[in-house]
Amino acid sequence: MAKFVKVMDSENLPIGKSAIIRIGEKEIALFNYKGKYYAVDNKCPHKGAPLGEGRIEECIVICPNHEWRFKLETGGSLQNPELRTNVYPVRTKGNFLYIGLETDSRTAFGKDPSKLPSNLNFNISTVQQPINPDETL
């Protein structure tokens, strides 16, 4: 079961903005697309460009580097059905946004949610403007 961690005040992420959030070793791109929140790994599975700085069309994030496309809902690649980026559930409670972190053995945080590091370092490094002016998120 995912452990949800509080990441930011939703007022700081209005429709059409994205934020890159550092949680421990992870970097997660969080988007407010048309009033719904989506979180994916910030690092593009191709060559690591920041997906949080990509533009969005039709609920698909487009990597700023070589324009590979990933569905925000599933993380699936449109170019290669075998390829995907991790997606994370997002919840709201009060004014705050929470991201669910994977807690299985393939992640840095280990199997047991209680092993989540107590000194998680949150760093909301950027809040982006939408790059594609034709697309209102």
Binding residues for ligand FES, per CB under 6 A?
A: 44, 46-49, 63, 65-66, 68
Looking at the Cβ atoms of 48 and 117, the one nearer to ligand FES is 48
Looking at the Cβ atoms of 42 and 103, the one nearer to ligand FES is 42
* Count of all residues that appear for the chain in the document: 137
Looking at the Cβ atoms of 8 and 54, the one nearer to ligand FES is 54
Which helix (H) or strand (E) segment is 122 a member of?
Answer: strand 122-128
Cβ neighbours for 73, distance < 8 A, ≥ 6 positions apart: 38, 59, 87
Q: How far is the CB of 40 from ligand FES (least distance, A)?
A: 12
Looking at the Cβ atoms of 67 and 112, the one nearer to ligand FES is 67
Helix (H, G, I), strand (E, B), or coil: what is residue 51?
helix
Q: How far is the CB of 56 from ligand FES (least distance, A)?
A: 14
Helix (H, G, I), strand (E, B), or coil: what is residue 5?
strand
User: Contact, 12 vs 96, CB < 8 A?
Assistant: no
Q: How far is the CB of 36 from ligand FES (least distance, A)?
A: 23
